[in-house]
Amino acid sequence: MGRERKFYDTTEWRRIRKFVLARDGYLCQLRCSKKCRGRANSVDHVVRPEDGGPLYDPAGLVSCCVACNTAKRNRQQAARARNWDRAKGNPLQQW
């Protein structure tokens, strides 16, 4: 876990996380993975903090299951990689 992710270890994050899970009834709000069973045990930033999303604002957070949280992150990373390839040119093609 990098320095920018240490906020997940704070008392403030744990308090907000519990609030968001209770607010959403411990139900996955993403429902984007075939493995989703609907039971939330994680909290996801709607807009990643690295992209300017708020760290602790409950309005910018949703409850989700780990499978959906992972699926969303993987899709975002793949989209970033595709956009990087288009914008910068694929460095592997230069070899």
Q: Are 42 and 66 in contact (CB under 8 A)?
A: yes
Domain ranges for the chain: 3-88
Provide the residue-wise pLDDT of the chain in tens; the chain has 95 residues.
Answer: 454 678 889 999 999 999 999 999 999 999 999 999 999 999 999 998 888 999 999 999 999 999 999 999 999 889 888 887 665 555 555 44
- Write the DSSP assignment of the chain as a string of letters: --GGGGGGGSHHHHHHHHHHHHHTTTB-S---STT--SB--EEEESS-GGGT--SS-GGGEEEE-HHHHHHHHHHHHHHHHHHHHHHH--GGGG-
